[in-house]
Amino acid sequence: MIMPVHPIEFRYSYPEMYRVFTEEAKLQKWLDVEAALAHTHAELGTIPLEAAEEIGRKAKVGIVKLERVKEIEAETYHDLLSMVYALEEVCEGDAGKYIHLGATSYDTEDTALALQLREAMAIIEGDLLGLLKVLLDQAEAHRETFCIGRTHGQHALPMTYGMKFALWASEATRHLERLRETRRRVLVGKMSGAVGTMAGFGEKGFEVQRLTMARLDLEPAMISTQVIQRDRHAELQCLLALVAGTLDKIGREIRNLQRTEIAEVSEPERSTSSTMPHKRNPNRTERICGLARVIRGSVVSSLETIALEHERDISNSSLERINIPEGFILTDYILRQMTEILERLEFDHGNIRRNLDMTLGLCLTEQVMLELVEKGVGRQEGHEMLKRLAMKCWDEKRSLKEVMLEDPEASGLVTETELDDWLKPENYVGTAVEQVNRVVEVLRPLLG
């Protein structure tokens, strides 16, 4: 019994995407292409209709056994040719001699790959829509959950949690747009022969390609060599890396916000340490961030497949057997994992408020400065005064209100009542709530 080795096989995958890239699924797509090609030949009068129908009947994984293909491959050292031989074995009469007529291996392999990618991209699209829904739901729910915003890891200005979710939702939407735009460049097949001249199909080359792709609902390549050009596939890997980058960003934010010193949000299922029972480890988001690195790491090698030698070499093949399934399976996995986390993300509103008030009003110095400008104080003058007062607050660990009211210069410019109003964080979030509402209003219809 062969035991699984790659964690994709037993840990980091969901069945729907995993099934797209099994050897049986790949074999079936090859058979689908061969059946389509045979029917095209019959339509053009190149082979008997009865032969095409027999090939179509037998082009099924249940009939053409993967085990038999493997046995033949052990002798031929050519997986595609082994499929052709295995299909020929099960075809009755002389139908077998018409299989793969005029085609080269990558006419079948690249076209079949496009069929796999169509299924895989549909799953990723569904995943992105699921993520988008949760992000919009959370944006609405937390549009007035006031919190501290951070830049350079430091407390900056007040904002809302709804803005975080709305921002991520807009990013997920761009990935959906990219996915839909990429389809027309990726879902492309070909029947052009060994160097792209279509010589094996004679004068009917364009029609063979057009009709075969029409049967498979793929776009025919405008021009190709022995292979579909790899810029298409590299673009797709870049898209998966972009999606992974967004999930990495969200994961890092949750991990940081779950730190003991911050503790504003936490994953719904928290893993403890094997030796320290008190710990609340963000294991799932850490896993997402780790797998995102694997997905991004495939981009450079995928880009290098663009530069194949002459009309092709085979250096892309071994790499793509790893990069493409791995990229899709892992992207699907981390998308679904993140959606589950965000849907049940836990909020500690007490800590959110505690952190918002932690700087004792210093996060609102911009607000105070602008209010002083309204009173006639120069902008730079106000900035320098508040910088001086802020340093005193830090040194003496006292509130901005207290320090301002006792300062000879500042106390003559503001009343205690005014300061109380200026130093309410919820009074200085600008258009935050409106921005969230606008994002939700624009993006919600995309969910259908």
* 354-408 per-position pLDDT tens digit: 999 999 888 999 998 999 999 898 999 999 999 999 999 999 999 999 999 999 9
Which residue out of 271, 273, 315, 349 is catalytically annotated? 273
Tokens of 141: 């729910």
Give the pLDDT mean for 234-239. Answer: 97
Tens digits of residue pLDDT in 164-214? 999 999 999 999 999 999 999 999 999 999 999 999 999 999 999 999 999
DSSP 145-176: -EEEEEETTEEEEEEEHHHHHHHHHHHHHHHH
Task: Determine the number of helices (DSSP H) and then strands (DSSP E) in the chain.
Answer: 18, 6
Can you tell me the distance from the alpha carbon of 266 to that of 255, in angstroms, rounded to the nearest whole number? 8
CB-based burial of residue 217 (10 Å sphere; 0-12 exposed, 13-18 middle, 19+ buried)? exposed
pTM given for the model: 0.94
CB-based burial of residue 75 (10 Å sphere; 0-12 exposed, 13-18 middle, 19+ buried)? exposed
Contact 281, 273 (CB under 8 A): yes
Can you tell me the distance from the alpha carbon of 157 to that of 272, in angstroms, rounded to the nearest whole number? 33
Contact 225, 312 (CB under 8 A): yes
User: Sorting pLDDT into bands at 50, 70 and 90, what band is 270?
Assistant: low
Domains and CATH numbers, the chain: 15-98 (1.10.275.10), 105-138+150-347 (1.20.200.10), 360-442 (1.10.40.30)
Q: Hey, is 229 helix, strand or coil?
A: coil
Which residue out of 152, 278, 310, 318 is catalytically annotated? 152
Contact 336, 133 (CB under 8 A): no
User: 61 - beta bridge partners?
Assistant: none
Whether the pLDDT of residue 16 is over 90: the answer is yes
Contact 268, 138 (CB under 8 A): no
Contact 364, 422 (CB under 8 A): yes
152 is catalytic: yes
Q: What is the 3-state secondary structure (H, E, C) of 310-379?
A: CCCCCHHHHHHHHHHHHHHHHHHHHHHHHHHHHHCCEECHHHHHHHHCCCCCHHHHHHHHHHHHHCCCCH
Whether the pLDDT of residue 269 is over 80: the answer is no
Mean pLDDT, rounded, of the chain:
95
273 is catalytic: yes
CB-based burial of residue 273 (10 Å sphere; 0-12 exposed, 13-18 middle, 19+ buried)? exposed
List Cα–Cα distances, 196 to 30, 130, 274, 310, in angstroms: 19, 41, 59, 12
Whether the pLDDT of residue 271 is over 80: the answer is no
